[in-house]
Structure 1
Amino acid sequence: MTIKISKYTSTPVYIHGCGFNSALGSSREEIHQRLRDGSFPQVQPVSGWLNNGTDTVVGKVAGELPAIPESLKPYNTYNNRLALSALAQVAEPIRQAIAKYGRDRVAVIVGTSTSGTSDTEAALLEKAESGELPGHYHYSVHEANDLGEFVAAYFELQGPVYTISTACSSSGRVFMSARRLLKAGIVDAVVVGGCDSFCQLTLNGFSGLEAMSDTFCNPFSENRKGINLGEAAAFMLLSLTVEDSAWTGDVPAVALLGVGDSSDAHHISAPHPEGKGAEEAMRRALDDAGLKPESIGYINAHGTSTPLNDAMESKAINRVFGEHTPVSSTKPLTGHTLGAASAVEAAICWHVLRYQLALPAQVNDGQIDQSLAPVALVQPGTQLVETAILSNSFAFGGNNISLIFGYAHG
């Protein structure tokens, strides 16, 4: 089949492999089946997780996580084991980049919001019971930079190492920072991605904000009540050069074509009601890629299922794209994975492009909120026509990021 390639004007950043583990699954077969069916068996109701005694719904990873090597014992946290489950899927292209460019020419830029907080919580609980912290515990696992340092240590990389923590846009901003390093010639390849895992602090924090739902999340529905939290890890390898291995048959290489950000600082936790920051991020991404709105064939919405987010995002999308560009939120399939959300949704976009999947249909109760600005929510079986995809992530404080992915010429 002939694939249409969008007429972008930016310098593409090629994606060499994608590792991904979430409630959507960890294998290609699981991920594709659940995207196709709109099924979410690993998004489950739970009791006893919140201090106020209410129930909630969370997206969990399944199966055993890999062990951290003994030589990296100080990095042995749940969050890093979750990260390793996705990193192992892109280990080969990372090692190929090391062999080609050298360890000092490969950078690490990742995003997180929880880091090793769950391990700190367990350590503090033990101290409360026994009077002492566990002998193996060190406070450094709690620091945000622990994730980036672990990734660099695991692959013995010597390039720059950044960990970005801007709440729910964390692992989207890594793409922007990575492209800057690549275009500046500081490095030749960058490991990007994000990882976030469950901890009581985050769960009860969002509960305190009255942002969590006690039922399955319902993006763009009149019955939406709030978010379902999830845990996940997703990583990619980026470079400015396309390798033969990035092409498969008639499918061109998948690349990052544009990025756009904004920081409207409207409110510490609520988005601007008119979506001004969201609109600015999307328009900047289009300008950066040199694309018109009609070149976007699908929008992966932030779509948290909170009353405020879905209202403002639908307004912003409608103003930029009108009401015919296909839109869906995939958070019902994964949960809202916080600092990993951007990387998770970038991974979903990569799978759609790389394997020419049907667009992820919007999962909700079918009772669309008619007060929302009109957008074209994806129906089952909808195919991608225009082959550039935009993915949104919006964070506390109005820290917003929009990414555009598509096929690129080699």
Structure 2
Amino acid sequence: MKDSTHHPQPVYIHACGSHSALGLTHDDIHHSLISGIGKGMSGAPFTLSNGLTVNVGRVTDALPDIADSFSHQQTRNNRLALSALLQISDAVEQAKATYGADRVAVIVGSSTSGIADGEDALKSYQAEGELPSEYSYYQQQLNNLSDFIADYFDVTGPAYVVSTACSSSGRVFLSAKRLLRSGLADAVIVGGADTLCNLTLNGFFGLDSVSSGLCKPFSDERDGINIGEAAAFMLLSLERPDAPEAIALLGSGDSSDAHHISAPHPEGLGAEVAMRNALADAGLTAADIAYVNAHGTSTPLNDAMESKAIFRVLGDNVPVSSTKPLTGHTLGAASAIEAAICWHLLSHGLPLPVSIHQQSRDPEIAPIRLATRGESLKGHAILSNSFAFGGNNVSLILGKL
């Protein structure tokens, strides 16, 4: 990596917490990443409206309760979020003490919010003729997540939710960086949370995008995605942590190719722009990237176009893998949980994650170099991709300084 003095000012990651099919604790997360088996990917399947079942990535650890004082924000999505937020609470409290509660912002991503709770309320209405007394439409509004986080931590800086489908919690990093560099905040809680619900599972099944088994990105046997649920959050600041080494957001890039409402551009033009913008923002070249955490949804269209874009930008020397076989595609939380995975790789020196279920490579995809099991990270910068419906593309570069 080039000398950091030549880089634009990095945004430092002061804490990271997550909960997904990988597990909740660091030990469980690391075991899942190293073994290539997501802890919650072999859990109970999800039953669709037509009676068919599909594989999903579930959180299997117990979720914390939300106090009665937050009853208007009592959703499973917020409980999942809280399980990850508790892991960064010390850093948030330190930021409040250092900068003041009004200087701590909340910018997070979601696409489902409390929709699952709304679905349960509708079932109750159909059975009983009335909605449950504890149900409120506010629970499934997108801003419920950012409101809950701001209220829980008692911070009063800017707080809002970004919802751009599967790039939602990646775009929050770009927004947070602008907020910090503009001087409108001194610390920002970023991340995202999405929980399993009928709306998204049946919707993706209707698009013929759900895998018949466990997903196999870049494989000649790939036939679709597994939906998952996850929450992941970080505390960002321009101030470097007091430590010999620091993990930082080195660069970020985005694009909006608007090729199709649900299909990516077949040549990956928007994906390429996002990656090139991230490299330029970080002041890095292709040679500086040690690993690519691909969007890698395991759909025929995504993997074909993404491999072309990666090959044009980075060539065939950088190892590439997708962690979605270990977490499921967690939709609005996908960018955040995959950024958290990159944080774990950089912080703990873990081998590159490769699912044990990965089958033979599709000979038709571009000649990128797929990572091999047990391969070590040889470098200090990771690029992570997230591409969404409508051509909303985000690339993040995390690195160790």
**What's 1:253 paired with?**
246
- Summarize the alignment of residues 317-396 of structure 1 with structure 2, pairs less than 5 Å apart: 317-396=310-389
Identity %: 59
| Structure 1 position 398 matched with structure 2 position 398 | no
**Contact persistence 1:169–1:401 (CA under 8 A):** yes
How many Å apart are 1:5 and its aligned residue?
A: 6.8
How many Å apart are 1:323 and its aligned residue?
A: 0.8
**What's 1:132 paired with?**
130
**Contact persistence 1:45–1:56 (CA under 8 A):** no
**What's 1:111 paired with?**
109
1:153 paired residue among 151, 154, 166: 151
**What's 1:312 paired with?**
305
C-alpha separation between the residues in 1 aligned to 2:103 and 2:162? Answer: 20
Letter in 2 for 1:18: C
**Contact persistence 1:168–1:396 (CA under 8 A):** yes
| Structure 1 position 243 matched with structure 2 position 241 | yes
Q: Aligned-pair RMSD on alpha carbons?
A: 1.4
C-alpha separation between the residues in 1 aligned to 2:271 and 2:142? Answer: 26
Letter in 1 for 2:226: N
**Contact persistence 2:286–2:314 (CA under 8 A):** yes
SS at match of 1:280: helix
SS at match of 1:391: strand
Letter in 1 for 2:110: T
Letter in 1 for 2:160: Y
Q: Structure 1 unaligned segments of length 5 or more: list them.
A: none
2:48 paired residue among 35, 47, 50: 50
How many Å apart are 1:65 and its aligned residue?
A: 0.4
SS at match of 1:100: helix
C-alpha separation between the residues in 1 aligned to 2:287 and 2:5? Answer: 11
Kindly report structure 1 stretches of 4+ aligned residues shifted beyond 4 Å: 3-8, 45-48
Cα distance change, pair 46–190 in 1 and its aligned pair in 2 (3 A): same
How many Å apart are 1:110 and its aligned residue?
A: 0.2
Letter in 1 for 2:389: F
C-alpha separation between the residues in 1 aligned to 2:112 and 2:54? Answer: 19
**Contact persistence 2:224–2:299 (CA under 8 A):** yes
| Structure 1 position 273 matched with structure 2 position 271 | no
How high is the TM-score relative to the length of structure 2?
0.98
C-alpha separation between the residues in 2 aligned to 1:226 and 1:57? Answer: 11
| Structure 1 position 232 matched with structure 2 position 230 | yes
How many Å apart are 1:131 and its aligned residue?
A: 1.3
**What's 1:302 paired with?**
295
**Larger displacement relative to structure 2 (110-119 or 365-374):** 365-374
**What's 1:36 paired with?**
34
C-alpha separation between the residues in 1 aligned to 2:357 and 2:29? Answer: 19
SS at match of 2:160: strand
How many Å apart are 1:361 and its aligned residue?
A: 2.4
C-alpha separation between the residues in 1 aligned to 2:40 and 2:132? Answer: 32
- Summarize the alignment of residues 171-190 of structure 1 with structure 2, pairs less than 5 Å apart: 171-190=169-188
C-alpha separation between the residues in 2 aligned to 1:45 and 1:85? Answer: 19
How many Å apart are 1:44 and its aligned residue?
A: 2.6
SS at match of 1:44: coil
**Contact persistence 1:36–1:358 (CA under 8 A):** yes
**Contact persistence 1:147–1:163 (CA under 8 A):** yes
C-alpha separation between the residues in 2 aligned to 1:72 and 1:332? Answer: 34
| Structure 1 position 218 matched with structure 2 position 211 | no
How many Å apart are 1:325 and its aligned residue?
A: 0.4
Cα distance change, pair 45–88 in 1 and its aligned pair in 2 (3 A): closer
How many Å apart are 1:54 and its aligned residue?
A: 2.2
Per-residue deviation, residues 274-294 of structure 1 (Å, max 9, x unmatched): 000000000000011110111
**Contact persistence 2:45–2:56 (CA under 8 A):** no
Q: Structure 2 unaligned segments of length 5 or more: list them.
A: none
SS at match of 1:43: coil
How many Å apart are 1:387 and its aligned residue?
A: 1.1
